[in-house]
Structure 1
Amino acid sequence: METLAKRSKEASNVLQHVNSEEKSVVLLKMIKELDKKRPEIFEANKLDKENADKLVKAGTLSTSLYKRLDLVSGDKFSTMLQGISDIEKLEDPTGKITYANKLDEGLELYRVTSPVGVLLVIFEARPEVVVNISALAIKSGNAVILKGGKESINTLNALTNAIRTALVDTAIPQNAIQLVETREKIKELLDLDKYIDLVIPRGSNNLVRFVQENTRIPVLGHADGLCTVYVDKDADVEKAKRIVLDSKVNYPAACNSAETLLVHREILSSHLLPIIKTLLEANVKLHLDQEILFYLSSSSSLSIDNNPLIQLCENKDFDTEFLDLEIAVKVVDDLNSAIQHINLHGSKHTDSIVTNNKEAAKRFMQGVDSAGVYWNASTRFADGFRYGFGAEVGVSTNKTHARGPVGLEGLVIYKYKLFGTGHIVSEFGEGEGMKQYLHQKIDNFDQIL
């Protein structure tokens, strides 16, 4: 693993000098190579799904992970290729001047964006992550070491081989993209802070916690996707039904699907039953709090006795990432109660308010301490592709460096470049004959080195 990490570091050093045009050449070659090898990639994915299906039946693999494994159904593969094309069209995030200051005549300071270096990305199930992250890494000038789940190993190998083939005879060395197959090597990689600059874990709470607790390398990621939809007293009932349904049902296994529904007490008689019926029609299992359960049993025509989709919630349900057709439902007294609940039980991922009250939406979006706060929109929009990033390397709930869906901007850092003409610090200070710093903002500047 140390040899592999060294190769990544060497590749990252080469990437520092690769220009935007050369990156575009590689990304376009990636699209062609992946499309060319689509049949063998699909065969590999079919084999992985057959093996995974046995694990699901044996109870050793969750259905949510199995669902994330599929690369063949629908337009998933084409969307993956479109993501590379979108990334190729984005502006190169490196070499951008974010601060310019004249310290003295002939002494100018610039803060310039630059690649992070070597990324270690550890993920579970979703094989398209290999392609998304490889494209983002190349565009941002980073080398990447990829470690996926064993349940998708055949697909991962097929995708990685296609990507590395696309790097042949280009300005980017093949070792810029490397795949690690065995789980046992993760701990060893996490010790290599001399070569690896950033770890990005994508997966279960246990995976992220393990990474955070076993490395000195900075970690970018999120442990849970405990997203909430709050239906305010001034919500439109039809909007509420649409948003709640989409947030839960569109893709239940995703980290941006809603796991909790909060309903304002004043609209139980008008909004609760239509929303509940909408969810039940979609076969969603409801973990209802005592008040809602009592209300439905005494005040509605809905038959809840012996309904397998309805049960009394437990306190732990509001801290559970179901990743399936299940949701915890709770009544709250007011907007402040909703905000307090989310800040206490949520994972700081994405939370949404449904309301026609602009002031309530403003208070919610200011008060909820999450990476994404939405007004009248499904939590499923929390995605780098949907944000226009082309793809995402992951979703971060951190409060340093990058937050929310992380695209290219989260894969660059910056360095300070100081241009002098023989300046020394000893010339500056208080007293006769000493220079004073000008600290003048530079508004117009030519391309710097």
Structure 2
Amino acid sequence: MVRSMVTEIEAKVIEAKKAAITLASVSTDIKDRALEEMANALDINRQAILSANMRDLEVAEKLQRKGELSQAMVDRLKISDNKIDGMIAGIRDVIKLEDPAGRTLSALELDNGLELYQVSCPIGLIGVIFESRPDVVPQIMSLCLKSGNSTIFKGGSEALNSNRTIFDLLVEAIERSEGVPKGAFQLMETREEVMDVLALDAYIDLLIPRGSNAFVKFIKENTKIPVLGHADGVCHVYVDDEADLAKAYTICFDAKVQYAAVCNAMETLLIHEKVAERFLPKMAQMLESAGVELRCDKGSFAILEHIDFIENLVHAVEEDWSTEYNDLILSIKLVSSIEEAIEHINTYGSHHTDGIVTENQKKKKKFSDLIDSSSVMINASTRFADGFRYGKGAEVGISTNKIHARGPVGMEGLMIYKYVLLGNGEKVADYVGPSARNFTHRKLDKLLSDVMMEK
């Protein structure tokens, strides 16, 4: 029984791997037509999507009441008309993006008639393993299709109906567009399939996990496949002593409250002690009105403990500084300098997204230079760290890695490159020994696609 399941999974993966070879060479026009079909399918079938999501939500909310599923997971699971609008907009933004496949990145003459081209190409077969968020399916499928990558999706059981409905609608739309190979996109649904997917390093070229800290850590620790992503989203905002406090109130409120259950929400607020007495009471009142629990260090607690309207106030403990709450909880700490703020962020943060509020130009530069994070915000909310907001159409995820791709990752994170050498019978033996020919290594202003058409 187990063996037949593994064989079935392998068959799906192998089919997608083979389709990836053909998909890599599909023209931009064909891909864009398929993307438009995908967007139309979501628009026309809104009620089917919402009905499927309602079935998932009924089960999820029961599990949440039993303590078996977090509120953050339930929030991420919810689909609304607005969310469907966002899915559609994301797909149509991908249509507008330049096709990244087959672009000449560099051209070099090695010798007369011997030319080397570095050309962008898809990674191949992408594995996407995710919890809750059904909107991951159209986001990543659209980016993978446009970039020429096949994709294996494995969603969580809590979103089973939503994922299946959206996936089927999108694949049917793609198959109506002649020229896209069948089998390029696959969906896996059982819990057992996760471990099987993690073991298929012979076929899957890159894994993108989307979910909780524990989930992403589990993926990273149990596969040989390269993983693009981040485990934690411990994001900070530092309010400097030279901050415009009017800006600080709106930035900090948005960073925490606009949507608390996401990885780019602020989890720790750092405040320069010189402005704390002026800034913190009003900021705390705003957060209190939104239901935020405040976990304060000694200095901030002392400022707030005698204020009548502040009720959700507790003492912070050491682990708060490195905790991603994904909830209406915020840790607060006073610092004596920008240097202390930077040190705290680089020590306790997750290198995801961190911001400063200041009017001092030198401090803006110092913060951006020294903060070791994938996104640094100057006088703006951390919530802007998002592929759609960064103009990428959508995102495959946010990476805190320092190789290949970093920050909100769009199609560039799904691309790699190859070298193509055009020659005319040249051999290495002519370039070694006493009478060796010399390499010219001259940069060329040519595109490989144009050269190949000429030949």
Quickly name the TM-score band, shorter chain normalised: over 0.9
Of 265-274 and 42-51, the range deviating more from structure 2: 265-274
- Once the two structures are superposed, residues 80-111 of structure 1 have per-residue CA deviations (whole angstroms, 9 ceiling, x without a partner) of 10110000111001111111110000000011
Of 352-361 and 33-42, the range deviating more from structure 2: 33-42
Q: 1:273 aligns with which of 281, 289, 292?
A: 281
Q: In the TM superposition, what are the counterparts of 1:7-406 in structure 2 within 5 Å? A: 7-72=15-80, 75-169=82-176, 170-297=178-305, 302-303=307-308, 308-406=311-409
Secondary structure of the residue that 1:386 maps to in structure 2?
Answer: coil
Q: CA deviation at 1:268?
A: 1.6
Q: Distance in 2 between matches of 1:445 and 1:386?
A: 31
Q: Measured at CA, do residues 227 and 448 of structure 1 come closer, stay the same or move farther in structure 2, by a change above 3 Å?
A: farther
The amino acid across from 1:442 in the alignment is L
Counterpart of 1:429 in structure 2 is: 432
Preserved contact between residue 288 and residue 311 of structure 2 (Cα < 8 Å): no
Q: CA deviation at 1:296?
A: 2.9
Secondary structure of the residue that 2:398 maps to in structure 1?
Answer: strand
Preserved contact between residue 264 and residue 382 of structure 2 (Cα < 8 Å): yes
Q: In the TM superposition, what are the counterparts of 1:401-416 in structure 2 within 5 Å? A: 401-416=404-419
Q: CA deviation at 1:173?
A: 2.4
* Structure 2 segments unaligned to the other structure (5+ residues): 1-8
The amino acid across from 2:90 in the alignment is G
TM-score where L is the length of structure 2: 0.95
The amino acid across from 2:137 in the alignment is V
Preserved contact between residue 254 and residue 323 of structure 1 (Cα < 8 Å): yes
Counterpart of 1:440 in structure 2 is: 442
Q: CA deviation at 1:367?
A: 0.5
Preserved contact between residue 353 and residue 376 of structure 2 (Cα < 8 Å): yes
Counterpart of 2:4 in structure 1 is: none
Secondary structure of the residue that 2:416 maps to in structure 1?
Answer: strand
Secondary structure of the residue that 2:33 maps to in structure 1?
Answer: helix
Q: Distance in 1 between matches of 2:349 and 2:168?
A: 39
Of 372-381 and 176-185, the range deviating more from structure 2: 176-185
**RMSD of equivalent CA atoms:** 1.2
Preserved contact between residue 83 and residue 391 of structure 1 (Cα < 8 Å): yes
- Once the two structures are superposed, residues 10-53 of structure 1 have per-residue CA deviations (whole angstroms, 9 ceiling, x without a partner) of 11011022011110111011112222222111110111111111
- Once the two structures are superposed, residues 353-405 of structure 1 have per-residue CA deviations (whole angstroms, 9 ceiling, x without a partner) of 00001110110011010000010000000000000111000000000000000
Secondary structure of the residue that 1:201 maps to in structure 2?
Answer: strand
Q: CA deviation at 1:430?
A: 4.8
Preserved contact between residue 167 and residue 173 of structure 1 (Cα < 8 Å): no
Identity percentage of aligned residues: 45
Secondary structure of the residue that 1:145 maps to in structure 2?
Answer: strand
The amino acid across from 1:140 in the alignment is S
TM-score where L is the length of structure 1: 0.96
Preserved contact between residue 285 and residue 310 of structure 1 (Cα < 8 Å): yes
Q: 2:421 aligns with which of 415, 418, 422?
A: 418
Q: CA deviation at 1:116?
A: 0.3
Preserved contact between residue 429 and residue 436 of structure 1 (Cα < 8 Å): no
Q: CA deviation at 1:308?
A: 4.2
- Once the two structures are superposed, residues 100-136 of structure 1 have per-residue CA deviations (whole angstroms, 9 ceiling, x without a partner) of 1100000000110000000000111010100111000
Secondary structure of the residue that 2:307 maps to in structure 1?
Answer: coil
Secondary structure of the residue that 2:117 maps to in structure 1?
Answer: strand
The amino acid across from 1:215 in the alignment is T
Paired residues, what number? Answer: 442
Q: Distance in 2 between matches of 1:13 and 1:426?
A: 34
Preserved contact between residue 107 and residue 446 of structure 2 (Cα < 8 Å): no
The amino acid across from 2:405 in the alignment is A
- Once the two structures are superposed, residues 157-208 of structure 1 have per-residue CA deviations (whole angstroms, 9 ceiling, x without a partner) of 0001101111224211231111110121111111111110000011111111
Q: CA deviation at 1:269?
A: 2.2
Of 182-191 and 153-162, the range deviating more from structure 2: 182-191
Q: CA deviation at 1:210?
A: 1.1
* Structure 1 segments unaligned to the other structure (5+ residues): none
Preserved contact between residue 210 and residue 216 of structure 2 (Cα < 8 Å): yes
Q: CA deviation at 1:76?
A: 1.0
Secondary structure of the residue that 2:232 maps to in structure 1?
Answer: coil
